[in-house]
Amino acid sequence: MNVFVAGGAGYIGSHTVRLLLEAGHEVTVYDNLSEGHASSVPVARLVRGDLADLDTLTAAMRAKPYDAAMHFAANCYVGESVTEPQKYYVNNVSNALNLLRAMRAADVGKIVFSSTAATYGTPVATPITESHPQQPINPYGRTKLMFEQALADYSRAYGIGYAALRYFNAAGAAPDGTLGEDHDPETHLIPLVLYAAMGKRDQVSIFGTDYDTPDGTCVRDYIHIYDLAQAHILALEAMRPGDRRTYNLGNGSGYSVREVIDTAAKVTGREIPHNEAPRRPGDPAVLVASSEKIVRELGWKPRFPHLESIIETAWRWHREHPDGYGD
Ligand code: UFG
């Protein structure tokens, strides 16, 4: 297939682009490089552009006969979405709708969308299945849910097919050490723990030790970036016009913040300096996915289901690229 990948130079996009190419698909990456890294994708496949720029976007999408789009081009920090909601509504909703407009103009009938566990809000049942109520508790989750709803309406009215993939906690790096996580600022737990192991940060803070969990710290479901990327390929290849699919993506196992720190200490053979800090606003105590649906319907089979192997690949990336992509 010929695939138009918006935001393909970011962390999840770049890993997916690599797997798309390995699976024999044609790829064009459309990215404004505000958070992505040019060197994370093949240079000949990169078109620099913004979703806000509808003319450039539509021209790029009309340049080739695309079979499908993938949409990774969003802002994704929960905390920032609370203090700067406008950025999230403009980019994750308004600019994202331009992608749907361009798809209609260019007659592209399928899309795989990066959604999130944050659309569920505070869980009322665990593990979370796709039919769990969606009551997001922050602007990030609300903007992602709005786009899911737009997809459903576009599908009913115009017949587009879509798969909304609701990610839990993406982590890890390409097993060969050539692609990895490089956010600025970095807010995610696993890279921050590894920065503390490397001495790039003095220590990592544990946000909250009084949650109703076995050791008092938050529990999350970490999914390897390779397995997450693979799910996009499966969703793309299975999709038919008019499909409305949603899939959770996690491993179904929860690890606490303390367990992440202990596992990282084991993997790196280093001490992880840490301190205890107050809760971070907006963090649910436990988020664990049921990914049974994608296993059953698409045959998804994670290659790195264990936290240790997720951290091992991340550790290789950070050790070999202490300054990330260096841009
Ligand atoms: N944490 C710490 N210290 C840190 C960073 C994080 O204790 O320095 C804790 C958090 O409080 C949380 C856990 O580690 O309990 C994981 O935090 P991350 O920031 O790594 O990930 P989140 O669970 O907050 O966020 C992930 C995705 C978001 C998505 C969200 C859905 O990264 O994009 O899940 O809830 F929106």
> Is the domain of 95 the same as that of 122?
yes
Place 5 in a pLDDT band, splitting at 50, 70 and 90: very high
The tokens of 130 are what? 């796709």
Of the ranges 230-234, 238-242, 282-286, which one carries the lowest mean pLDDT score?
Answer: 282-286
6: pLDDT strictly greater than 90: yes
CA of 56 to the centre of ligand 1 (A): 34
117 lines ligand 1 (CB under 6 A): yes
pLDDT in tens, 51-101: 999 999 999 999 999 999 999 999 999 989 999 999 999 999 999 999 999
Domain carrying residue 210: 172-221+252-290+303-320
Per-residue pLDDT, averaged over 33-46, amounts to 97
Q: Do 200 and 112 lie in a common domain?
A: no
- Is the C-beta atom of 257 inside 6 A of ligand 1? yes
Residues 42 and 66 in one domain: yes
**How many angstroms is it from 257 CA to the middle of ligand 1?**
9
Q: Ligand 1 atom closest to Cα of 207? A: 7
Determine the average pLDDT of the residues in 177-193: 96
Does residue 325 lie in a domain region?
Answer: no
50 and 75 both lie in a single domain: yes
In a domain, 298, yes or no: no
Atom number, ligand 1, closest to the C-alpha of residue 260: 14
> Is 297 inside any structural domain?
no
Same domain, 44 and 162: yes
The reply to whether 280 falls in a domain is yes
Please say if the pLDDT value at position 34 is more than 90.
yes
| 158 part of a folded domain | yes
pLDDT at 282 (0 to 100): 81
Q: How far is 252 from 287, CA to CA, in rounded Å?
A: 9
Rounded to an integer, the average pLDDT of 6-17 is: 98
Q: Is 27 helix (H, G, I), strand (E, B) or coil?
A: strand
pLDDT at 257 over 90: yes
- Same domain, yes or no: 158 and 266: no
- Asked whether residue 97 falls in the same domain as residue 196, the answer is no
Residue 326 domain flag: no
Provide the pLDDT for residue 256. 98
What pLDDT is attached to residue 46? Answer: 98
Answer yes or no: do 161 and 50 share one domain: yes
Binding site membership of 74 for ligand 1 (Cβ less than 6 Å): no
140 lines ligand 1 (CB under 6 A): yes
Distance of CA 310 to the CA centre of its chain: 15
Q: Residue 225's pLDDT is what?
A: 98
The length of the chain in residues reads: 327
- Percent of the chain topping pLDDT 70: 100
| Centroid of ligand 1 to alpha carbon of 195 (angstroms) | 16
Whether 205 is in the pocket of ligand 1, judged by its Cβ within 6 Å, is: yes
Known catalytic membership, residue 222: no
Chain centroid offset of residue 269 CA? 28
Q: What is the CATH number of the domain that holds 87?
A: 3.40.50.720
Q: Considering only CA atoms, which residue is closest to atom 36 of ligand 1?
A: 118
Give the pLDDT score at 145: 98
Q: What is the pLDDT of residues 109-147, one digit of tens each?
A: 999 999 999 999 999 999 999 999 999 999 999 999 999
Check if the beta carbon of residue 64 is closer than 8 Å to that of residue 58: no
CATH of the domain at 276: 3.90.25.10
Q: How far is the CA of 138 from the centre of ligand 1 (A)?
A: 13
Q: Of the listed 66, 88, 140, 195, which one is catalytic?
A: 140
Determine contact, residues 187/77, Cβ cutoff 8 Å: yes
Q: Are residues 155 and 58 in the same domain?
A: yes
Q: Per the structure, how many domains does the chain have?
A: 2
For every residue of 91-145, DSSP letters joined together read IIIIIHHHHHHHHHHHT--EEEEEEEGGGT-S-SSSSBPTTS----SSHHHHHHH
Helix (H) or strand (E) holding 79, with range, is helix 78-83
Q: Cα separation of 14 and 29, whole Å?
A: 9
Residues 40 and 8 in one domain: yes
**Over pLDDT 90: what percentage of the chain?**
98
Cβ(204) – ligand 1 distance below 6 Å: yes
Give the per-residue pLDDT at 281: 84
pLDDT at 43 over 90: yes
Q: Are residues 203 and 98 in the same domain?
A: no
Could you tell me if 179 and 161 lie in one domain?
A: no
